[in-house]
Amino acid sequence: MREILSSPLFGITLSIVAFKVGLSINEKVKHPLANPLIIALIIIVATLKLFGIPHEYFEAGSSIILLFLAPVTAVLALTVYRQRAVLLSTFFPIVLGTLAGSAAAIGSVVLLSRLMGLHEAVTASLIPKSVTTPVAIALAEQMGGISALTIASTIISGLAGNLFAPLLITLFAVKDPVAQGVAIGCASHALGTSKAMEIGQVQGAMSSISISLSAIWTVLLVTLFF
């Protein structure tokens, strides 16, 4: 049994089964809080705790799945290509919007961390929370942050965007589809982008390009000021 659990296939299988269950529940419940990723996380954590399975066993397989994150993010370029006319006509507003969004994401973390008296390592871990996970981890490690905390904060940011983006768009009366997409992608990376694609094709494409631009701006801002 130990050989099976320590095999990478265990982590991969558990992840796939848990997400499949999450999708099934989401289709039946049809509620924003019944997010497949949240359900999958709960199932995985409950399974590991209930059966006393070491986290290292699950991580052996989940780390393989993590390798696909960067290529999947790159595939979003196809969505951007299909909306290239919109992108070209609004390129500079998108660039400036992602710069403002990245600066706001970093600035808010630094300000709140200082107000709450958080340790510098915690602050460094939270600063890149709004960019895609591989970039966030690299930046956090460069600044002396904690990778696990960075991953957790990045997932929370993505889930928040995925769950609350439609509500916030309505609440703040954001009518322009380009602005909607840029805001979602800049604040909540790929998880938010999946929701942007459900909202509309333009929103999905603009959110996709925002992921890359926000990552670039965040790296530059962190390099210059931290």
Distance CA 151, CA 54 (A): 19
Give 82-125 pLDDT, tens digit per residue: 888 888 899 999 999 999 999 999 999 999 999 999 999 999 99
What's the pLDDT at 10?
Answer: 83
Quote the Cα angle for 169-183-70, to 5°: 130
What's the pLDDT at 94?
Answer: 94
Distance CA 91, CA 185 (A): 15
Q: Which of 139, 132, 136, 152 is nearest to 193 (CA)?
A: 132
Q: Residue ranges of the alpha helices (H) in 117-200?
A: 120-126, 133-142, 147-171, 177-199
Amino acid at 69: L
Residue with tokens 């660039």: 95
Distance CA 66, CA 2 (A): 23
Kindly tell me the number of DSSP H helices and DSSP E strands found in the chain.
13, 0
Residue with tokens 């099976």: 4
What's the pLDDT at 96?
Answer: 95
What's the pLDDT at 73?
Answer: 65
What's the pLDDT at 114?
Answer: 92
Give residue limits of the domains in the chain: 2-67, 75-225
* pLDDT of 26 higher than 70: yes
Res. 126 pLDDT band, cuts 50 70 90: very high
Give 29-43 pLDDT, tens digit per residue: 877 778 888 889 899
Q: What share of the chain is helix, strand, coil (3-state, %, to 5)?
A: 85, 0, 15
* pLDDT of 63 higher than 80: no
Give 70-85 pLDDT, tens digit per residue: 677 677 777 788 888 8
* pLDDT of 176 higher than 90: yes
- Look up the pTM and report it: 0.78
Res. 4 pLDDT band, cuts 50 70 90: low
Give 195-219 pLDDT, tens digit per residue: 898 899 899 999 989 988 999 999 9
